[in-house]
């Protein structure tokens, strides 16, 4: 494994662990000031402040104690891109839920510059 591939694996893993440890500061330390986050509902959050606000429910307890279980991790060291599949345990309206999804993470150096999140849904949004 190349040094860059190891570095990207460490960055992606640290980012996920920050969510599992309810550590918003570590998660946001990894995010670049001008990063973009595209959420599973099609929302686009540009800049660190907007991303922090979008991530808030995962840190403020409104979704219980969210926990991401790692699944697969695919790393392209040459482009700085990571595809990470996961399962998320959250609480929605008092009910425990499990979601499966994939994050496409783009890194420049040691900073996350783009996060695209895709989640499986029982019913596609366009059918609601």
Residue 59: give its domain's CATH number: 3.10.450.50
Q: Is residue 126 part of a domain?
A: no
Is 127 domain-assigned? no
> What is the dihedral sign for C-alpha 14, 19, 23, 25?
positive
Summarize pLDDT for 29-68 with one digit per residue, the tens: 999 999 999 999 899 999 999 999 999 999 998 888 899 9
Would you state the structure tokens that stand for residue 80, as one six-digit string? 């700085």
Range of the domain at 12: 3-120
Query: Considering the domain boundaries, does residue 50 fall inside one?
Result: yes
Does residue 81 belong to any structural domain of this protein?
yes
Q: If DSSP codes are grouped into helix, strand and coil, which group holds residue 78?
A: coil
Tally of domains within the chain: 1
Average pLDDT of the chain? 92
Residue 21 lies in a domain: yes
């Amino acid at each position: 494994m190349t040094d860059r591939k190891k570095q990207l694996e460490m960055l992606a893993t640290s980012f996920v662990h920050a969510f599992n440890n309810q550590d918003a500061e570590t998660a946001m330390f990894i995010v670049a000031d001008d990063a973009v986050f595209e959420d599973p509902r099609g929302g686009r959050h540009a800049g660190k402040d907007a991303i922090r606000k979008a991530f808030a429910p995962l840190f403020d307890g409104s979704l219980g104690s969210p926990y991401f279980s790692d699944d697969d991790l695919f790393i392209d060291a040459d482009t700085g891109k990571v595809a990470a599949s996961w399962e998320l345990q959250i609480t929605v309206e008092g009910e425990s839920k499990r979601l499966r999804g994939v994050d496409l993470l783009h890194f420049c150096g040691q900073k996350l510059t783009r996060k695209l999140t895709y989640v499986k849904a029982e019913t596609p949004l366009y059918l609601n």
